[in-house]
Amino acid sequence: MGSSFSHGKINPETQVNTRLEDFVKSLRTCIDQAISQAVDLVLFGGDAFPDSTPPPYVQEAFAAQFRRLADEKIATVLLVGNHDQHTHGQGGASLSIYRTLAVPHFIVGDDIGTHKITTPSGQIQVTTLPWLNRSNLLTTPETKGLPLSGVNELMLKKIQPILEAEIRRLDPNIPSILLAHAMVDSAVYGAEKFLAVTSKGFQIPLSFLNRPEFDYVALGHVHTHQNLNPSNDPPVIYPGSIERVDFSEEKEDKGYIMIEMAEKASPIEVNWTFHLLPTRPFKTIKLDVTTSQDVQGDLLKAIKAQNIKEAVVRLHYTLSKEQVDLINLKVLHEALKEAHTYSIRPELNTHKSLQRLPELGVGSHIDPLDALKIYINSKDDLKEIAKDILEAGQILLSEK
Ligand SMILES: [Mn+2]
């Protein structure tokens, strides 16, 4: 909650970004269902907000929904995801406040541990595996000089025995769930994949989680709903996000998972179902009009062919330089008015493939600043700000 604001607008009645209202609506539907079906337990897989310091009104919108579970005495586990963590000290997660305030029946999962929870239907064990980063697990001397792959390997070596110890302590007579915020190595990723190449992200092998001691593995982090274990033994499920964060999720169904578990039977029978949430549609209208005889007409036709009412729309079209004057932008804006919000991005087809400068070719060993000078000299449009760029470059290079 608090993301995707660029795809929304301020609701004049509430003064709140409509995308926050969309997320609240989705979350409210989930909580409504939990209450109306009198569930025993609610699991939240992490990443409540884009970062650990959400604005108060965003945090309040989240809390206002979850407190309804506390009111109904429904046990709830809030797992800490990477976006919930603050870099400073222990308990430094946006969700830790729920523990500090001792919200009844709420558990905050910010470390690896197993929580035995008594529900109206009996006991259940939930092992939490929050997002772990290197500073949680490793000391600076341990990682000194190690490449990123080595650091990740070392992290996995540390996690495995800790998780193993939790698994061994599980009571085989009580249903057990692993709730993990992780990037699992066999998952299909969307925007989250970019985390993988930074020091912040690493992948956990499916074999760590895919254990018969767990009756269900509930995952957070990846926004695309998927089951990583089609044999369902146990199910290893990403429910996905409850709303679309950006256009990379345009074609995804959004929803929540309802899990049914038999109380005591060996093996414990588990059924899970994905329930669609009524989310705001995202629509990309993309066309190339370079060979069109009626540029404006074709653009309007492409817009009319879509149901854009209340959708977040982007119109991307490619045209040639000569066609620019044939476009009446005012008419395009009028045609897109029905959308919730929209953006128009024309692109000229004159983009030549970028030529590599021979001076900067592979194998040339030149000073970075000289390379920058050569690059700027090759770009007419940069000449005016060449001095500023060089100065900025000097400053950046002097920062070690
Ligand atoms: Mn995450």
Q: Are residues 61 and 151 in the same domain?
A: yes
Segment 290-308 mean pLDDT:
96
User: Is the pLDDT at 296 greater than 80, yes or no?
Assistant: yes
Q: Are residues 112 and 147 in the same domain?
A: yes
Beta bridge partners of 119: 122
* Domain end point (choices 229, 251, 276): 276
Q: What digits encode the pLDDT tens for the residues 310-358?
A: 999 999 999 998 999 999 999 999 999 999 999 999 998 875 545 667 6
Confidence of residue 190 (pLDDT cuts 50, 70, 90): low
Confirm if 227 and 236 have CB atoms less than 8 A apart.
yes
Confidence of residue 198 (pLDDT cuts 50, 70, 90): very low
In a domain, 99, yes or no: yes
Q: Are residues 268 and 314 in the same domain?
A: no
Beta bridge partners of 348: 319
User: Is the pLDDT at 37 greater than 50, yes or no?
Assistant: yes
Omega within 30 of 0 (cis) for the link into 267:
yes
Q: Are residues 258 and 342 in the same domain?
A: no
CA of 338 to the centre of ligand 1 (A): 34
CA of 47 to the centre of ligand 1 (A): 5
The average confidence (pLDDT) of the chain is: 89
CA of 342 to the centre of ligand 1 (A): 28
User: Is the pLDDT at 301 greater than 60, yes or no?
Assistant: yes
Q: Are residues 268 and 286 in the same domain?
A: no
Residue from 107, 44, 270 nearest 175 by CA: 270
CA of 148 to the centre of ligand 1 (A): 19
CA of 203 to the centre of ligand 1 (A): 12
In a domain, 204, yes or no: yes
CA of 395 to the centre of ligand 1 (A): 34
Angle of CA points 122, 117, 270, to nearest 5°: 60
Q: Are residues 168 and 260 in the same domain?
A: yes
CA of 82 to the centre of ligand 1 (A): 5
CA of 282 to the centre of ligand 1 (A): 22
CA of 197 to the centre of ligand 1 (A): 14
Omega within 30 of 0 (cis) for the link into 234:
yes
Q: What digits encode the pLDDT tens for the residues 79-126?
A: 999 888 886 556 668 898 898 899 999 999 999 999 999 999 999 999
User: Is the pLDDT at 64 greater than 80, yes or no?
Assistant: yes
Tokens for 259?
Answer: 């899990």
Confirm if 243 and 4 have CB atoms less than 8 A apart.
yes
Confirm if 188 and 226 have CB atoms less than 8 A apart.
yes
CA dihedral 380→384→386→387, nearest 10 degrees, is 160
Angle of CA points 135, 137, 139, to nearest 5°: 65
Residue 173 maps to which CATH number? 3.60.21.10
CA of 187 to the centre of ligand 1 (A): 13
Q: Are residues 30 and 149 in the same domain?
A: yes
Would you call 372 helix, strand, or coil by DSSP?
Answer: helix
Q: Are residues 126 and 168 in the same domain?
A: yes
In a domain, 215, yes or no: yes
Q: What range does the domain containing 365 cover?
A: 358-398
Q: Are residues 242 and 333 in the same domain?
A: no
In a domain, 249, yes or no: yes
CA of 265 to the centre of ligand 1 (A): 34
Comparison of pLDDT for 176 and 358, the residue scoring more? 176
In a domain, 96, yes or no: yes
With a CB cutoff of 8 Å and minimum separation 6, the contacts of 114 are 125, 126, 127, 128, 166, 169, 170
**CB-CB neighbours of 353 under 10 Å:** 5
Q: How many whole angstroms separate alpha carbon 180 and alpha carbon 127?
A: 8
In a domain, 353, yes or no: no
Amino acid at 188: V
Q: Are residues 129 and 203 in the same domain?
A: yes
* Domain end point (choices 276, 310, 325): 276
Helix axes of 295-304 and 329-336: crossing angle, nearest 10 degrees: 10
Any idea which of 109-113, 195-199, 280-284, 372-376 has the lowest mean pLDDT?
A: 195-199
Segment 164-189 mean pLDDT:
90
In a domain, 294, yes or no: yes
Percent above pLDDT 90 for the chain:
67
CA of 255 to the centre of ligand 1 (A): 17
Comparison of pLDDT for 399 and 248, the residue scoring more? 248
Domain total in the chain: 3
CA of 250 to the centre of ligand 1 (A): 19
CA of 46 to the centre of ligand 1 (A): 7
What is the radius of gyration, based on Cα positions, of the chain?
26
Q: Are residues 39 and 122 in the same domain?
A: yes
CA of 44 to the centre of ligand 1 (A): 12
CA of 303 to the centre of ligand 1 (A): 35
In a domain, 30, yes or no: yes
CA of 223 to the centre of ligand 1 (A): 9
Any idea which of 145-154, 195-204, 266-275, 310-319 has the lowest mean pLDDT?
A: 195-204
- Identify each DSSP E strand in the chain by its residue range: 10-11, 16-17, 41-44, 75-79, 106-109, 113-119, 122-129, 176-181, 183-184, 203-204, 216-220, 226-227, 236-238, 255-261, 270-276, 282-288, 312-319, 341-348
Pair type for strands 113-119 and 122-129: antiparallel
Q: How many whole angstroms separate alpha carbon 306 and alpha carbon 379?
A: 40
Would you call 52 helix, strand, or coil by DSSP?
Answer: coil
Tokens for 316?
Answer: 């991307």
* Domain end point (choices 243, 276, 309): 276
Confidence of residue 159 (pLDDT cuts 50, 70, 90): very high
Beta bridge partners of 79: 109
Angle of CA points 19, 20, 26, to nearest 5°: 90
Confirm if 63 and 71 have CB atoms less than 8 A apart.
no
Residue from 299, 379, 384, 360 nearest 333 by CA: 299
Does this model's pTM top 0.85?
Answer: no
Residue 105 phi/psi, 5-degree rounding, is 70, 10
CA of 316 to the centre of ligand 1 (A): 30
Question: Residue 88: its pLDDT value, please?
Answer: 56
User: Is the pLDDT at 202 greater than 80, yes or no?
Assistant: no
Distances (CA, A) of 383 to 60, 360, 380: 49, 19, 5
CA of 335 to the centre of ligand 1 (A): 38
Residue 315 phi/psi, 5-degree rounding, is -110, 115
CA of 231 to the centre of ligand 1 (A): 25
Q: How many whole angstroms separate alpha carbon 147 and alpha carbon 25?
A: 44
Q: Are residues 227 and 263 in the same domain?
A: yes
